[in-house]
Chains A and B, each alone.
Chain A
Amino acid sequence: MKEEIVIAGFGGQGVLSMGKILAYAGLMDNLEVTWMPSYGPEQRGGTANVTVILSDSAISSPVLDSYDTAVVLNQQSLDKFESKVKPGGTLIYDPSGIHHLPSRTDITVVAVDAMSAAIELQNSKTYNMILLGALLACRPIVGIDAVVRGLRKTLPERHHHLIPLNEQALRKGMSLAGK
């Protein structure tokens, strides 16, 4: 098993932390993991992306030509990464703010309205966890239990009361992706 994933959007959308949580979940499942961020001047408003590779064997390059799965959260990222999804791969996007829809027919395209779902959960910070849930529904590379174990291990104790909310967001994302 090897899954090569890119997550891309605006800085502040939780792109890097979503990748980090996925990487920790991979660690919990004893997979090999690389997490390679873009680290430009990408504070809130700029673009940010991260490549996450999960594999049951050693990982060579952290830099890739193409991806099994892309999660794109704005138009620029969709324009940049749609063509870089491998044939047969998966493209997950948030339709809010997207005016040129993805056009490829040789990949699975999934629209996840995570912004509205986050508003329903009354916490905009659940946005990236909803998308992670959608990703794991489409590509079950790690289980939700591994994500939760990863959160429990990496979050400081004082934030542990937020874990149930995050789990709820993950499950909401899974159902939004139609699984």
Chain B
Amino acid sequence: MEEVKLMKGNEAIAHAAIRYGADGYFGYPITPQSEVLETLAELRPWETTGMVVLQAESEVAAINMVYGGAATGRAVMTSSSSPGVSLKQEGISYLAASELPALILNVMRGGPGLGTIQPSQADYFQATKGGGHGDYHLIVLAPSTVQEMADFVGLGFDLAFKYRTPAMILADGIVGQMMEKVVLPEQRPRRTEEELRAQCPWAACGRGDRDHRNVVTSLELQSDKMERNNERFQKTYRAIEANEVRYQEYFTDDAEYLIVAFGSVARICLKAIEDARAKGVKVGMLRPITLWPFPTAEIARLAKQVKGILTVELNAGQMIEDVRLSVEGTVPVHHFGRMGGMIPNPGEVLEALSACFTDLKF
């Protein structure tokens, strides 16, 4: 029988990374995600699977260690929280440009600046629209439960290797610090040198019997070649958009109003929806699981059915832009959010619904 454990989202990330057969973790502590590094240090995977765990001297060093590990085809990851993820942006852009698979976890806290250590979703723009320089995208997964924290480690690595592009788990302080039941994945062995060479023919892991050297770089000074590189990246992004959109719908069958929310906030909204439905108000929710690629077509489909949409986010209104692009002006789209580490409770979500949609009576 599967063993059910109780742990924090951050702890689940660490366990799941070892069980995935990850080759390396490079990080630097910052609240509210320090338990990732702490748990890995406690579990000592270097003595079992051989996974490297290293506390780097800074966030910048950690992301460049990830770049180095990824260039050799290894499954490597880093984690941080908002200010630390800002520091990593140059490295993330280089990873994307060098077509390297890697996993980055951001357990968001309230910003801007050093801000607060309390939960936030204010890095949505940074995660989904670039963050670093240049035309690139990350695959962005938004977990709402501790189970999804565990599951998205494997999913993130698999997608990153499938498309040779970095993936990000965009979590927040709630899902990082909260303890829930979780079933961890089976322990997988780390890939052998032979498996790695077969799966990653591009990796710079020694020439061996290849007839050429693999060179991993983001530098291309000839503009015509750099444009072709960009066209290749864009082709990858179109394939990801076509194949990898993930979302979950709640009570949408008969919904007259729609909430769009991601991560832990979707849980708060679900409770508000349960309360609204108890009062006979037909509210539903779409929870994007991939924030990039965004479930544009699915929201457009639901827009035909509902009188209005409310996005609820721990920010000043970021995902709302993608929701508005999805519905192209066909229905009103409103935003409700708290900032700076404040968390709305379900009652506030209900109040926001009735404030935005005056024909809605509770």
Interface residues of A (CB under 8 A from B): 20, 23-24, 27, 32-37, 39-41, 59-65
CB of B131 within 8 A of chain A? no
State whether A64 and B178 are in contact (beta carbons under 8 Å apart), knowing that A23-B6, A39-B117 are contacts in the complex. no
CB–CB B174/A64 < 8 A: no
Q: Which residues of A contact B274 (CB under 8 A)?
A: 60
Sample (10) of A-B pairs whose CB atoms are under 8 Å apart = A23-B179, A27-B4, A33-B180, A36-B177, A39-B173, A59-B180, A62-B178, A63-B264, A65-B345, A65-B347
CB of B343 within 8 A of chain A? yes
Considering the chains assembled together, what is the distance between the CA atoms of A20 and B4 in angstroms? 16
CB–CB A60/B271 < 8 A: yes
Q: Which residues of A contact B118 (CB under 8 A)?
A: 39-40
CB–CB A65/B179 < 8 A: no
CB of B31 within 8 A of chain A? yes
State whether A61 and B270 are in contact (beta carbons under 8 Å apart), knowing that A24-B6, A27-B4, A39-B32 are contacts in the complex. yes
CB–CB A37/B177 < 8 A: yes
Considering the chains assembled together, what is the distance between the CA atoms of A36 and B178 in angstroms? 5
Contacting B117 at CB < 8 Å: which of A23, A35, A40, A61?
Answer: A40
> Min CB distance, A1 to chain B, in Å?
16
> Min CB distance, A41 to chain B, in Å?
8
CB–CB A61/B180 < 8 A: no
- Cβ proximity bits B169-205 to A, threshold 8 Å, 1 near / 0 not: 0000110011111000000000000000000000000
Q: Which residues of B contact A41 (CB under 8 A)?
A: 117
Considering the chains assembled together, what is the distance between the CA atoms of A59 and B267 in angstroms? 9
CB–CB B177/A33 < 8 A: no
Considering the chains assembled together, what is the distance between the CA atoms of A59 and B268 in angstroms? 10
Interface residues of B (CB under 8 A from A): 4, 6, 31-32, 117-118, 173-174, 177-181, 264, 267-272, 274, 343-347
Q: Which residues of B contact A62 (CB under 8 A)?
A: 174, 178, 264, 267
The chain B residue sitting closest to A32, CB to CB, is B181
> Min CB distance, B6 to chain A, in Å?
5
CB–CB A61/B32 < 8 A: no
> Min CB distance, B274 to chain A, in Å?
6
CB–CB B180/A64 < 8 A: no
Q: Which residues of A contact B345 (CB under 8 A)?
A: 61, 63-65
CB–CB A39/B177 < 8 A: yes
Q: 19 new A-B pairs (CB below 8 Å) besides A41-B117, A63-B344?
A: A23-B6, A27-B6, A33-B180, A33-B181, A34-B178, A34-B179, A35-B6, A35-B180, A36-B174, A36-B177, A36-B179, A39-B32, A39-B118, A59-B180, A63-B267, A63-B268, A63-B343, A63-B345, A65-B345
Contacting B270 at CB < 8 Å: which of A24, A35, A60, A64?
Answer: A60
CB–CB B179/A61 < 8 A: no
Considering the chains assembled together, what is the distance between the CA atoms of A33 and B4 in angstroms? 11
Q: Which residues of A contact B271 (CB under 8 A)?
A: 60-61, 64
Q: Which residues of B contact A23 (CB under 8 A)?
A: 6, 179
> Min CB distance, B179 to chain A, in Å?
4
The chain A residue sitting closest to B272, CB to CB, is A61
State whether A35 and B179 are in contact (beta carbons under 8 Å apart), knowing that A60-B270, A61-B268, A63-B174 are contacts in the complex. yes
CB–CB A60/B267 < 8 A: yes
